[in-house]
Amino acid sequence: MNEPETLANTSTRDQGVWPYLLPILSFLLLVEASAYVTGVSAAVMLVVRVAVPLIVLIYFAARGCYREIQIRFHWMIGGDVLVGIGLAAMWMAPYVLFPQLRPAGESVGMDPMMAGASGVWLVLAVRMLGFAIVTPWMEELFMRSFLMRFADVYDADPAAGDDTPPDFREVPIGRYSLRSFIVVVAVFLMTHQLWEAWVMLPWAVLTNLWFYYRKDLFAVIVLHAATNGAILMAAYFLSGYFMDADGTPISLWFFV
């Protein structure tokens, strides 16, 4: 009779760090595997690399593992969205203005036609689900809920009189320390492609600062979602709109 209640109230400590690691690890492994498939197989892999992390997130969320996320809709959410869209413009502008910054190779970026002309909208819908919903949740849970707090407590030694909380979950969300700030920015850089470093660095720094201001994990998830969603929509609606100096239309699909 009481089993569902017991399951829902399971201590997050009993789950260890897996609620934060498994979603992003499964995603990174599937992204790596995606590099070896093309055509319809690439479309199938696109679905898989969205579905697997999403299922893992739902599994742990159902067990109460993400209690630090307080979903509240109020006027400040509009600010989170606007900041996210502004950062999307910051992310894309250098590559539109300076062609030498763009990644080389015909295979760079997403091919919206991977499932054929009739499947374009399905491909875009799946990509939007992954890029603007699943990715922000799993990355922010890992980066700014787990990693940012774990960086401050991993070497805590209460026996030596250290008053640092021994468990990262006891560290308040959005608490600033130079160590955790540097660690999060560094890991963001390491987990993205080298050509993105020019914009990843300021994006990580500015979103950290916004997070310290908001002290709300859901706020930075919304910001991240707005950035990614705006980038994907720009790739769809604005590809071919901008021109290089020689008049060649610029495809923006390399962003996604």
The domain locations on the chain are 70-255
User: At 24, is the secondary structure helix, strand, or coil?
Assistant: helix
Highest mean pLDDT among 17-21, 71-75, 107-111: 17-21
115 or 22: which leads in pLDDT: 22
Mean pLDDT of 26-35: 92
Q: Which residues, listed in sequence order, are joined to residue 243 by a DSSP beta bridge?
A: 249
Question: Which segment of 35-49, 64-78, 183-197 scores lowest on mean pLDDT?
Answer: 35-49
Mean pLDDT of 197-215: 98
Q: What mean pLDDT value characterizes the chain?
A: 90
pLDDT exceeds cutoff 50 at 240: yes
pLDDT greater than 50 at residue 2: no
Measured CA to CA in angstroms, residue 35 lies from 9, 11, 103, 135, 227 at distances of 40, 38, 16, 18, 24
